[in-house]
Structure 1
Amino acid sequence: MDLQLTDKVVLVTGGSKGIGYAIAKAFHQEGAKVAIVARGQEALNEAKAQLQDQIVTIQADMTKENEREQVISDVLDTYGTVDILVNNVGGSNGSTTAETDLDLFHEAFELNYFSAVHFSKLVLPYLKEKQSGSIINISSIFGRESGGKVTYNSAKAAMISFTKALADEAIKDGIRVNGVAPGSILHPSGNWQRRLDENPEKINQFVQDEIPAGRFGTADEVANVVTFLASEKASWVVGATLNVDGGQSKSNY
């Protein structure tokens, strides 16, 4: 399917590895002009090499407001505009609510939630000017139900709510905002790969018990949904957060 994304300018946060890298690669394969931002320069260099230097890489700490502003400035300096934003950066910390310091809650929200809010606000004026564009927020099935660490779950729940709120505001300007909620995705740099290496019997049993499809998802399977949502093929999808989880979620919505 031709998604008609040729020459669209795409910014992917947390795009140097895992799901973010797969998203960047998928847009690149569709002919888009891709910029990825991440904190680690080594991973950025590797991503650039894998995509044969056909992307722009930006090193930044996305928990810092001034660095997020500089990222947008760099993208505009390079491409002159932005068409699609993918808020993918994320991570988990802490343990139980009682045992997790409040600072870690702030840290989790800054990375997982406020970075998405801020980047969205930064690109909105440029999307409004052209009366088109797309913002895709990568949350998690655990933004809808219990599972995982409380700091991460809370931030991803907020992201799902933000996605719908912003979508309703922005669609009048031709801007579509949607989300993707992955389930358990296996990729070399992820936690599931580490857990599988540490205890294959336990993790394989988890897959059989908890994922109806009987396997982990792949980063490419998430990326395929993201590129579709960003394209005009999904022109009537507004404010949705789609599960990409092989049936893992127990939620009815």
Structure 2
Amino acid sequence: MELYLADKVVLVTGGSKGIGRAIAAAFKAEGAEVAIVGRGKEALERARKELDVFAIEGDVTKEEDRRQMIDEVIKQWGRIDILINNAGGSNGTTVANTDVALFYEAMELNYFSAVALSKHVLPYMKERRSGCIINITSIFGRESGGKATYNNAKAALISFTKALADEAIADGVRVNGVAPGSILHPSGNWQKRLEENPEKINRFINDQIPARRFGTPEEIADVVTFLASDRASWIVGATLNVDGGQSKAF
């Protein structure tokens, strides 16, 4: 299926490794112009060379950096067609044992960064009456499991996705989300857990994932590129589970 993404200008946050890197690679393979954002210089430079993308070092939790990211892409190409809010991460433990400050940190990284960047790109997209924003959330934004700080932030992002989608579509801007299940990649938490206790993790796979395996970053990237394309023109405000049947939602 032709996705008609050639020459589209795409910005992917958290794009130097894991799911973000796979998303950047998928857009690049479709012929898009791709910019990635990351905090780690080494991983960012490696992705820049290997994927042949435009790399921006920055921290999505800092407003000054967020504005700079958008400015650099606009300076490079004059527009942003697609924004992928992928940067995120978890912290803390149980609610009782997690300081409130960590809840604020999780919201800043997983939620407010996406809100701010979306607001920054909207004027450019509205002016062209064309654009797409995709927020990478999690199946645990809809149900229990994992850490509360992360789940709470992703739940808020799912809600924001629908709110912004309904508001922006009249101006030609589509907003959607992708909610991954458990994804295995070298830099992720599941890889560390698998190495530390393979028996426990394999039991988790058999008990919790009907597909009986972890997902791959590429499987998330395939859905993201489709959602960003005109082939998905009637999908507005949806957050799609991509999880091998893991979630309990329907």
Structure 1 residue identity aligned to 2:183: I
**Superposed counterparts of 1:116-135, under 5 Å:** 116-135=114-133
Partner of residue 230, structure 1:
228
Partner of residue 5, structure 2:
5
SS of 2:64's equivalent in the other structure is helix
Q: In terms of mean alpha carbon deviation, does 54-63 or 107-116 score higher?
A: 54-63
SS of 2:36's equivalent in the other structure is strand
1:79 pairs with one of 69, 73, 77: 77
Partner of residue 147, structure 2:
149
Partner of residue 113, structure 1:
111
**Superposed counterparts of 1:14-163, under 5 Å:** 14-51=14-51, 54-163=52-161
SS of 1:185's equivalent in the other structure is coil
Superposed structure 1 runs of 4+ greater than 2 Å apart: none
SS of 2:201's equivalent in the other structure is helix
Mark the runs of 5 or more structure 2 residues left unpaired by the alignment.
none
Task: State the number of aligned residues.
Answer: 250
SS of 1:217's equivalent in the other structure is coil
Structure 2 residue identity aligned to 1:108: A
Structure 1 residue identity aligned to 2:45: N
**Superposed counterparts of 1:172-183, under 5 Å:** 172-183=170-181
2:192 pairs with one of 162, 175, 194: 194
Distance in 2 (alpha carbons) for counterparts of 1:66 and 1:171: 28
Partner of residue 204, structure 1:
202
Cα distance, 1:249 vs structure 2: 0.0
Cα distance, 1:133 vs structure 2: 0.8
Cα distance, 1:79 vs structure 2: 1.1
Cα distance, 1:225 vs structure 2: 0.2
Distance in 1 (alpha carbons) for counterparts of 2:224 and 2:249: 21
SS of 1:134's equivalent in the other structure is strand
Mark the runs of 5 or more structure 1 residues left unpaired by the alignment.
none
Q: Deviation digits for residues 76-123 of structure 1, max 9, x if unmatched?
A: 111111000000000000111111111111110000000000000000
Q: Deviation digits for residues 164-210 of structure 1, max 9, x if unmatched?
A: 00000000011100000000000111000110011111101110100
Distance in 2 (alpha carbons) for counterparts of 1:97 and 1:210: 23
Structure 1 residue identity aligned to 2:208: E
SS of 1:186's equivalent in the other structure is coil
Q: Percent identity?
A: 71
Distance in 1 (alpha carbons) for counterparts of 2:223 and 2:69: 25
SS of 1:178's equivalent in the other structure is strand
Cα distance, 1:2 vs structure 2: 1.2
Normalising by the residue count of structure 2, what TM-score does the alignment of the two structures yield?
A: 0.99
